[in-house]
Each structure stands twice: as C-alpha cells, then as structure tokens.
Structure 1
Amino acid sequence: MKTASILKIIPYFGKWPAWIDFYLESCRHNPDISWLFYTDCGRPPTAPANVQFIETTFEDYKKLVSTRLDIDFNPTHPYKLCDLKPALGFIHQDQLTGYDFFAFGDIDIIYGKLRAFLTEHVLQKYNVISNHERRISGHFCLLRNSEKYRNAFRKIPHWQQLLENDQHLGIDESKFSKVFLPHRKHPKWLQCFWSLSSSYQRNTLYKEQYSTILSPMPWWDGSMNHPQQWFWQNGKLTNSSDGEREFMYLHFMNWKSNTWLPKPLRNEPSAWMKLDKLVHVAIDIGAKEGFKISPEGFTAINS
C-alpha cells in the first residue's frame, strides 16, 4: 500500500518564537511528513530537510492571497492569517502536486510520532481529520488534496467579506466546522442521518487527541487535571500523568498566552508571560537527550 503523503502549509510573519528550534526538532522526527512555510523570518539554521521555506514579505503574501481569491485581503496584523487556513489548499495548490493531503495549523506545538495516529488505515478511510471531537482543530487539521476539499472554504457563507474584515474572526474553527459538522450538538445517530444530505459530512474523523492543556474540556480520564510536565525524547511525547501513553502533539497555547484560557483565569498572566527566560536548555542537548515542556518553559528533561 502506498504511504499517503502530507504537506502542512503555514504562513508566518514577524519573528520566530523562542521555541522554534524545538518545534523544528519535533518535525525532524516525522521525516515522512512535509512542512512548507511562507515567511519573512528567514530559514532557521536548525531546520530539517522535511521543512521548507519560501521567503516573502507580509505585503507580498497579502497580494498573492488577494489575487488567488479575487478579494481585497489586506489585514494590518499577521494574526489574521489564522482565518485564512481553510483556503490554504486552494491558494497554494501548485505546491500540493503529488501530495495526498494538505494540512494547516499552528507552531505553538511540539509534535510526537504523528504517523502513529495518522495511520494508513485512517488516511485511506477519511477525507477530513480533526483532532477535536466536535469541531475542526485549527492547530492541526488534514484535508484530502482534491478539488472538492481545496475549495471547501467556499461553502462558508460570506467567506469573502469575512476574510476582508481586518479582525481575526476564528473562521478556521467556528465557520469552517459548520461545513463538515453543521449538526454537531445533535446525537451521533442523528448526525449520521443528516450526513445523507451532504457529502462533506461523510468520511470525516473527529477524534479528540487531548493536545491542548488548560482548555475548558476534561482530560481523557474525565478530570480537569491537565498534565503540567511534558517530555519529548527521540520523537516520543509523554507527560507526567499518563505513564507511557504517547500523545500526537502538545499544543501549549495556554501557557504562552492568557487569551484563550478559561474565563476565570484570563485576568492573570499566563505561565510563560511571567517568565524572564523561556528556553533553559540548548537545542543540541535537547535534541540528543530530550527536553521538558512545562510552566517553567523548555528545560532539560531531567530537571
């Protein structure tokens, strides 16, 4: 059986975050998945062969998007690019030649062994794969590289006006989810019934991977005790609470920022906002011996 190929496309402008070398190291240990950045940040010296970079300015990238989508895409801040995720497969379809899937997502992530979760059985069976149970996961989502799914964003009502709006609107999750799961609050048997009316609702997988710590949802064991110590070693991602259980990736958004923390916690700085220094281990040591991700930042795995 042919191994399904995946390209994750990420436009990113401004300045690489302090953890970029650790992000790239986790990409390196997934050599059968490819990443493509459009960026003005330059190519990091530690970038592996499966992560490519196309250097461009934010202004030129906005012009490219405007031309490809025939809209006036001119946001003042790169954060608006999050709303562009559903359309990335169409915008960059020339880069997708030969790939079976395209993916979008974020870089406030450390990956585990992705293919242990994105198995050939899963990739053969499903056309859309989300890592949340009841919506598209904006931090990592896969879609089959076909004309239908490259153009699925056009099913979002008034998508042109939404993208031309200068404000970040969360289109990648809130609006795009409704294309594939418009009846997500209904029981599963009723969702199956509704799926008969739209092929976009069939052959989709919504499986919670428990990647985002400090989110309002319970952990896999039903508790609200999200693990606070995570360990990456030779591509293997585990934590202090779940023994040898491996995870697909860690999405540490809520340590980085208080924007999406549960409402009672948003008035206080997030864990990393309080730190003077985020990275406490050299990447060469972290790549060789492993590293820990926690409220204290990136530290040696045995610290």
Structure 2
Amino acid sequence: MKYRVAQIIPYFGKWPAWINLYFYSCGKNPIVDFIFYTDCPLPKTQYKNTIFHQCTYNEYCNLISKKLNINYTCSKPYKLTDLKPFIGLIHEDELKDYDFWGMGDIDLVYGNLNLIINDDMLEKYDVITTHNYHIAGHCCFCRNNDYYRNLCYKIKNWKQIILNDTPMSIDELNWSDCVCPHAKTIRRFQKYIFSPLKIDFFKVLDTLNPIVHKKIHLHEYWTSLQPKVNESWLYFPQENKILDFQFRELPYLHFLFFKKTHWLKTDLYWKDGFYKLDENINRYKTIQIDYSQIIGIL
C-alpha cells in the first residue's frame, strides 16, 4: 500500500476478556500499525503490526503535559478518551513517518479494514470514519499534516475540558464539529425543514455530507448496533471477515452495546462467562457474537 497508517491507543488498567480476539484481528490487518501505551501485561502472541510501549499512567500523563504544555493530572485513565483529538500532536515525533494517524478503542473486533483503508480512499479523503452523523471516536483516521494535528486547539476551552476529570466525549462532539464544520447547519436543516417533512436524517446526511464535506468520508457502516434476541454477528478468522445479522460485511464490530453501558437501558448485555474462546483464535472456523456470548465454532 502506498500510504502508511498508524492508530495509537493509550490503555491503562486491565485488559478486557476479549483482548486476544481483538489483538488477533489487529494482526490480520497489516495495513495499519496499532501502537499501544499501556501498563497491562504484554500479550503472549504479538504481531508485526502490534507495537507496545509499556509505561505507567503517570508517565503517560507526563508525556501529555510536556507535549500540550499543561499540567495533566486527571485521576482516571478513562478520561484519556477526551485526549483522542490530541493524539496526532502528542505523538507527533513517533508519527513522522506515517501518512495518516488514527484514534480508536479496544472494545471491537476488526474485519477487513481494507474496506475503508486503501490507497484510493486515502488519496481521496483527509479523514475517514465510520459514522455519518459525527466522527466515530472508536475508529477514525486523519491525514498526518499540520492542520489535523493542530485542529484540537480549535476546541473552545480545550484546556478546561481535558483537565476536568469528567469524560465529555469531545472526540465525537466538540472536535467532530471542528472536523465537520457544516454539521451544525445540517442538524438545523434537519430540525426545522426535513424532520417536519418526515425525511430520514440519515438520508439527509448521505445527500449533504459528500457536498459540504468533500474531503471527509462520513459513511454509516452500522458497526455499533444494539444486539437483540436472535441476532448474531459472524467473524471468520481465517478469511478476516465480519458479517452482521443481515449478512452485510463490516470493517469491524464495535462492542459498545454488547456491554453494560449507561448509553442504553437494557437487560441484553454480556454477563460473567460470556467469552468462550481459548487463546488460539485461528483454530476456529467461525466465531459467533451475540448479546449473550462470544463462542467459537470449529
């Protein structure tokens, strides 16, 4: 591939139950280097494109402080989600040989990322993400240039926001509106014109985004759906492919609503013992993921 792409993820605490599945799926996508800063134990199996820097949370906070010229002392590592828009700047030196830098989460399993990360897409777009209504903080790639590295500084009151211990989702709110400057106008059009006419918001977005955000790939890939009874997603490890319950191929599956989360009130979420795979992910022909379990089929 012509372009070099890296995704940097700081993660501190304890790896989740599905981490071997996640790392395996990273390894099946060599078009992206996945770079982790963590205090978690290194996985037994590592791949050429999974790169680990072990450090303490305090050491990483010191890096943030130095690069952003602030005193970053937030007590909870989860607050790092609000630092996603600053990743290109914090890790500028490390990213100097990459054409695109990305932000992401680890509560997912990748399928074929070549669906969205390929030379044609990277030539055409400066930003690639997988929602059409805002930037997806769990998977977004930006061109590695001065504009996108420094766009985080355009977030109003950015210092006060990132120094506040409370997570504020600024990647998908404040920063998203900086990346997509016409998003607020589209939302106003929807509220006052299209919604009274019963026109679906996603249809409005799919029509207007390519016109007003020409260099930003805002496309809904349905990676974060809410699982229901009798719905399952299939991951094929050898083929590096994910199909949803409607047999649509996905670039990845986001586990947000499979977990217990304050974003959704439901009893359909993973309970203890839901993860039923062993360490050798490659031995499974198919892996089935639904609201109750992740299970392998030989």
Q: Which residues in structure 2 correspond to 1:151-300 (within 5 Å)?
A: 151-184=150-183, 185=187, 186=189, 201-214=213-226, 228-233=231-236, 234=238, 235-242=240-247, 245-261=248-264, 266=265, 268-272=266-270, 275-300=271-296
Does the residue aligned with 1:64 lie in a helix, a strand or coil?
Answer: helix
> Residue 72 of structure 1 aligns to which amino acid in structure 2?
N
- Retained in 2: the 8 A contact 1:286–1:300? no
Shift of 1:297: 2.1
Does the residue aligned with 1:94 lie in a helix, a strand or coil?
Answer: coil
Shift of 1:31: 1.4
Structure 2: gaps (5+ residues): 190-203
Question: What is the TM-score of this pair, normalised by structure 2?
Answer: 0.86
- Retained in 2: the 8 A contact 1:258–1:270? no
Q: Which residues in structure 2 correspond to 1:1-303 (within 5 Å)?
A: 3-184=2-183, 185=187, 186=189, 201-214=213-226, 228-233=231-236, 234=238, 235-242=240-247, 245-261=248-264, 266=265, 268-272=266-270, 275-301=271-297
- Looking at structure 1, the residues matched to 218 and 101 of structure 2 have their Cα atoms a distance apart, in angstroms, of 17
Shift of 1:241: 2.5
Q: 1:296 to 1:190 in 2, by over 3 A?
A: closer
Q: What residue number does 1:198 align with?
A: none
- Retained in 1: the 8 A contact 2:116–2:128? no
- Looking at structure 1, the residues matched to 221 and 209 of structure 2 have their Cα atoms a distance apart, in angstroms, of 21
Shift of 1:280: 1.1
Question: What is the TM-score of this pair, normalised by structure 1?
Answer: 0.85
Does the residue aligned with 1:171 lie in a helix, a strand or coil?
Answer: coil
Shift of 1:286: 4.9
- Retained in 1: the 8 A contact 2:24–2:281? no
Shift of 1:192: 7.7
Q: 1:160 to 1:83 in 2, by over 3 A?
A: same
- Looking at structure 1, the residues matched to 63 and 91 of structure 2 have their Cα atoms a distance apart, in angstroms, of 10
- Looking at structure 2, the residues matched to 79 and 112 of structure 1 have their Cα atoms a distance apart, in angstroms, of 26
Shift of 1:202: 4.7
> Residue 124 of structure 2 aligns to which amino acid in structure 1?
K
Shift of 1:147: 1.4
> Residue 15 of structure 1 aligns to which amino acid in structure 2?
K
> Residue 114 of structure 1 aligns to which amino acid in structure 2?
L
Q: Deviations over 1:205-236 (max 9, x none)?
A: 10111100219xxxxxxxxx798311111211
Q: Kindly, what percent of the aligned residue pairs are identical?
A: 36
- Looking at structure 2, the residues matched to 105 and 49 of structure 1 have their Cα atoms a distance apart, in angstroms, of 19
Q: Deviations over 1:181-209 (max 9, x none)?
A: 2332146687788x5xxxxx551110111
- Looking at structure 2, the residues matched to 21 and 299 of structure 1 have their Cα atoms a distance apart, in angstroms, of 13
Q: Which has the higher mean CA deviation after the structures are superposed, 181-190 or 61-70?
A: 181-190
- Retained in 2: the 8 A contact 1:14–1:40? yes
Would you identify which runs of 4 or more consecutive aligned residues in structure 1 move more than 4 Å? 187-193, 285-288
Q: Which has the higher mean CA deviation after the structures are superposed, 96-105 or 293-302?
A: 293-302
Does the residue aligned with 2:141 lie in a helix, a strand or coil?
Answer: strand
**Residues matched between the structures, number:** 277
Structure 1: gaps (5+ residues): 196-200, 216-224
